[in-house]
């Protein structure tokens, strides 16, 4: 690129910069907020703050038995609707289940998610959560956040349903990948091949496997020590 063509292109870049930023402003202003319903972001912020505070606590992270993990689970239960999640993850199968089976499935699926994410506590290294926007559509809302890590930024969206005056999360979308949809497709194939009983068995096995891994992790000397 020689100097002359650079000069010719320069106003073009400026114009592009301008239109680009105008587009961004326009799309930010387009976000809807209705005053009648509680603000989903305002409800999510203190929740995230409580969790990150807990995670930043040294005693908490170095506690190999994670005795206070229950604390996190309890806080999560105030903001996550595991029943709604289970219902969506099963799709059509859900309606065929008896109330007892439904309860059993919700318990299993909740435990699976707990093991999956509690196991990640040790990896927490001060990542911050930025709230970047929200969308409300009737009783549903999406709260958009960015998980800011040292060398990358991961977009995470929380999909929520308004229950009473509390927004409850029923799906988490990481980099555009919906957790519910991902499990749904896996479960669908298991349901087709092994029926519902097979799915329950697979869930129990997976939970058992994650439990074993956690026990082994606990047996190992703590990384910090």
Query: Which DSSP symbol is given to 81?
Result: -
Quick one: 54 or 112, whose CB is closer to another protein? 112
| Residue 19 binds another protein (CB under 8 A) | yes
Closest CA to 147 of 155, 136, 137: 155
Place of tokens 């930024």: 153
Quick one: 1 or 224, whose CB is closer to another protein? 1
- For residue 132, give every residue at least 6 positions away whose Cβ sits within 8 Å of its Cβ, in sequence order, or none: 144, 145, 146, 155
- Out of 42, 50, 69, 92, the residue judged to bind another protein by CB under 8 A: 92
Stretch near another protein under the rule CB under 8 A, chosen from 39-47, 57-65, 69-77, 150-158: 150-158
3-state secondary structure 103-149: HHHHHHHHHHHHHHHHCCHHHCCCCEEEEEEEEEECCEEEEEEEEEC
Q: Residue 57 CB, nearest distance to another protein (Å)?
A: 23
- Out of 72, 130, 168, 180, the residue judged to bind another protein by CB under 8 A: 180
- Out of 68, 104, 206, 214, the residue judged to bind another protein by CB under 8 A: 206
Strand order in the sheet with 177-178: 128-137, 140-148, 153-163, 166-174, 177-178
- Out of 75, 190, 191, 200, the residue judged to bind another protein by CB under 8 A: 190
Enclosing H/E stretch for 157: strand 153-163
Residues near another protein, by CB under 8 A: 1, 6, 9, 12-13, 16-17, 19-21, 23-24, 26-27, 30, 88, 91-92, 116, 120, 135, 137, 140-142, 150-152, 157, 159, 171, 173, 175-178, 180-190, 202, 206, 210
């Amino acid at each position: 690129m020689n100097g002359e063509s650079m000069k010719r292109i320069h106003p073009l870049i400026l114009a592009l910069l301008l239109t680009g930023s105008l587009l961004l402003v326009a799309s930010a202003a387009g976000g809807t907020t209705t005053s009648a319903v509680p603000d989903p972001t305002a409800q999510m912020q203190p929740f995230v703050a409580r969790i990150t505070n807990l995670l930043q606590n040294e005693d908490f992270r170095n506690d190999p038995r994670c005795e206070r993990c229950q604390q996190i689970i309890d806080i999560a239960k105030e903001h996550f609707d595991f029943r709604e999640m289970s219902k969506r993850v099963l799709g059509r199968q859900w309606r065929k289940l008896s109330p007892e089976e439904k309860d059993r499935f919700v318990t299993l699926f909740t435990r699976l998610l707990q093991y999956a994410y509690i196991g990640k506590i040790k990896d927490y290294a001060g990542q911050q959560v930025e709230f970047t926007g929200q969308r409300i559509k009737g009783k549903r809302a999406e709260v958009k956040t960015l998980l800011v890590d040292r060398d990358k930024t991961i977009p995470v969206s929380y999909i929520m349903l308004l229950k009473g005056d509390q927004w409850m999360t029923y799906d988490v979308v990481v980099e555009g990948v919906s957790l519910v949809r991902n499990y749904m497709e896996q479960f669908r194939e298991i349901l087709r091949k092994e029926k519902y009983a097979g799915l329950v068995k697979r869930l129990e096995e997976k939970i058992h496997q994650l439990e074993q891994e956690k026990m082994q992790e606990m047996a190992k000397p703590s990384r910090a020590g």
